[in-house]
Amino acid sequence: MVPQTLPAFTPGCPAADVDAALRQSLAVCEEARRCAVLWFAEVQRRSLWLAFGHPSLELYAVHRLGFSRNRYWQFKRLADDLDRLPALREAVADGRVGWTKAQQVARVATPGTDARWVDRAAQCGRRELTAAVTAEVARVRGEARAAVGAEAAAGTDPDTSAGPRTGGHQLALSLEAPPADSAKTMTPTPDSLAIPATIALRANALQVARFEALVEQARKRGLVPAHAGRMELVLAALEQLVAAGSNIGGAAKSSHAPTQIIVHQCPDCAAATVTTAAGERALAPAQLAALNCDARIAEAGKPNRATIPPRIRRAVLARDRHRCATPGCGATAFLEVHHVTPRSRGGTNKPANLVTLCGRCHAFVHEGAVAPPQARCAGTLSAEGAA
């Protein structure tokens, strides 16, 4: 792409000249934002904010770049999408897709469809692309509603009989096949279900100030990892709120998990989905692999079973001090237990092969983005876990 220059502002020009100058200025802005997000993604990928003494990317963006919080999250969201969608990243890097179109593509593209959406974005205008994306979002939502309706009509009810456990939210894997007469309706395409969901919150000025102050205090006290995003913060806060609700009246702290998440897996095709208010959403392969590490399995006609014996799981969490063992993380919420050597390769449920990870780090390990930390010495386990 040929570099563009800003036209010098001159008042009193003819209408055609003003229009041309404004269009040129907007094109320069679009190109500048496209270039800026690539550099921002590079800072994020290499943790370059540490070179300037900032403990997090957000603080670097706010204090060194002068970003507002909203502008930071706008850049970070697109930078995350560029890491998630390799074809989109390449198209933005070589100038085929600009900032505005990249944001639209990221709304609907998955790693399996991003190349197709990039080609479409490169061949059409912004309005046409926006209309296509809006139509795709509406189609996916309609497909999800149809799936929920079909499940309700079939009388399928998630098995909630699996008992809760300690250490955060529980993942229960339900191995059940959909009714033959509704299989097509209940199984939306994996690509459409893999589109990331967006939860938008509106806040007044006082609420924004409270949110930022609480986030800063939580990070200063080490209650959340430095890399935690807004979604992790909100989920951790809600989990603590639910847990506190069970202690009203001075009751002893419950050892039960405050929530249980039911995941349905088809025994034939192995596809897995989780039910949300917007319908069924598919799990990525890495998420399913992490789930199979640490969950309760519910099969029709069989007693529920844990992938890791509860006493061993409790002992491993205690050994790791109920913190994620990934260096530099240390999260204390949404903890899961990971098999260092997968069971498919002969790994066992012995404590020496188990390590505590937060849900985010657990997914990273199964995606191959980071190496799994080694388990601590088994000798630090409690008598219950070592038995």
Opening angle at CA 30, ends 28 and 35, nearest 5:
95
**At the topology level of CATH, where does 16-135 sit?**
Arc Repressor Mutant, subunit A (1.10.10)
Q: How crowded is residue 254: how many other Cβ atoms within 10 Å of its Cβ?
A: 12
Q: Where are the beta strands (DSSP E) in the chain?
A: 170-175, 260-265, 272-276, 279-282, 296-299, 305-306, 335-339, 354-358
CA distance 203 to 224: 22
pTM: 0.46
State the pairing for strand pair 279-282/170-175: unpaired
CA atoms within 13 A on the CB side of 133: 24
Nearest to 101 by CA among 30, 196, 199: 30
Tokens of 137: 């979002």
Amino acid at 267: P
**Contact at 8 Å (CB) between 361 and 324?**
yes
275: β partners: 280
Q: State pLDDT tens for residues 32-57.
A: 999 999 999 999 999 998 888 887 88
Left if phi > 0, otherwise alpha if psi is -120 to 50, otherwise beta: which for 149? alpha
Q: State pLDDT tens for residues 174-211.
A: 444 444 443 333 344 545 445 566 676 776 666 666 67
pLDDT in tens, the chain (387 residues): 456 678 889 899 999 999 999 999 998 998 999 999 999 999 999 999 888 888 788 888 988 999 987 888 889 989 988 988 999 999 999 999 999 999 999 888 888 888 999 999 999 998 999 999 888 887 877 776 676 566 556 654 433 333 333 334 444 554 444 444 433 333 445 454 455 666 767 766 666 666 777 777 777 777 766 666 777 778 777 877 776 665 554 444 444 454 567 788 887 777 888 776 666 778 777 778 887 888 888 777 778 788 889 899 989 999 998 888 887 777 777 788 999 888 888 889 999 999 998 877 887 788 765 566 766 655 444 434 333
Q: 82 by DSSP, 3-state: which?
A: helix
Residue with tokens 């789930």: 291
**Contact at 8 Å (CB) between 27 and 4?**
yes
DSSP letter (8 states) at residue 224? S
Tokens of 42: 């590079």
Q: What backbone torsions phi and psi does residue 79 show, to the nearest 5 degrees?
A: -65, -40
CA distance 92 to 97: 5
CA distance 187 to 124: 31
**Contact at 8 Å (CB) between 312 and 385?**
yes
